[in-house]
Amino acid sequence: MMKEIIVILTLLLLTLPVGICASEVKEYRLENGLKVLIVETHKAPVATLQVWYRTGSRDEPNGKSGLSHLLEAAAYKVHPYQRPVIGWMSDLKSIERDDLYNYYKAHYSPSNAVIVIVGDVKPDQIIEHIKSSFDNIPPGTLKKNINFLEPEQQGERRVLLKREAELPYLLVAYHTPSFPHEDSYALNVLNLILSGGKSSRLYTSLVYEKKIALTVEADYDGLKLYLHLHRPKIHESP
């Protein structure tokens, strides 16, 4: 879990000025198990606070997909391919009040949460406010993780969908390791090299030089690596 929190803080710090990245991360843990991470920086008179729960659609029981989305989870774990984040409509229609309440009690507790604060704060002062607001909440019971094993893909899979559209569209997805795998950082950098603006390698090659696409971009979200390609219309001579 510590690696996951490091990733969260890294993403937060990447949005701040360079000098802030050297700030010290102070870690606290309340008596009910709630972990608090604070980065003090006074570059601007603002601060951000996020509450992350270590749960998501991977913890949802079969037939009840969408529980996490209904509770507006701040962070989702790796989602099984068979179900969308928002859940299947048939499952959502079957969810009752007790399903939602029991899921909330099982996964949304201090012992399964992390608070991240970055900005113009004094750690020793802000932690007292956190304690006064969260320390009296019961820790909750430890949940049992549900492990999903995806069948190994044995070859390339292709799907062709024909619809009325102005332009053809190509989407290529690759199986990639997620955070906090050691290769995830290199893949994030690769994403910027491939599609970080109109001077990127893909855009330069496919749009400017070869002229076989109107636009192209890649995206790595920690779960999969996507390649999006919009191709121009090709008019064949009679």
90-99 CB contacts, 8 Å cutoff, 24+ apart? 91/63, 91/64, 91/65, 91/66, 92/65, 92/66, 94/63, 94/64, 95/64, 95/66, 95/67, 95/70, 99/64, 99/67
Q: pLDDT class for 227, splitting at 50, 70, 90?
A: low
Superfamily of domain 2-134: Metalloenzyme, LuxS/M16 peptidase-like (3.30.830.10)
pLDDT for residue 29 = 95
142/132: higher pLDDT: 132
The HSE-up count of residue 189 (CA atoms within 13 Å, CB side) is 4
pLDDT tens figures, 32-65: 999 999 999 999 999 999 998 888 877 888 888 8
Do 143 and 59 meet the contact criterion of CB atoms below 8 Å apart? yes
Q: With cut-offs at 50, 70 and 90, classify the pLDDT of residue 130.
A: very high
pLDDT tens string 65-91: 888 888 864 444 447 556 777 888 898
Q: Residue 171 is inside which H or E element, if any?
A: strand 169-175
| pLDDT score recorded for residue 228 | 55
- The amino acid at 45: P
Ranges of each domain in the chain = 2-134, 169-230
Percentage, residues of the chain above pLDDT 70: 76
Looking at the predicted structure, is the pLDDT value of residue 234 above 60? Answer: no
Write down the pTM of the prediction.
0.61
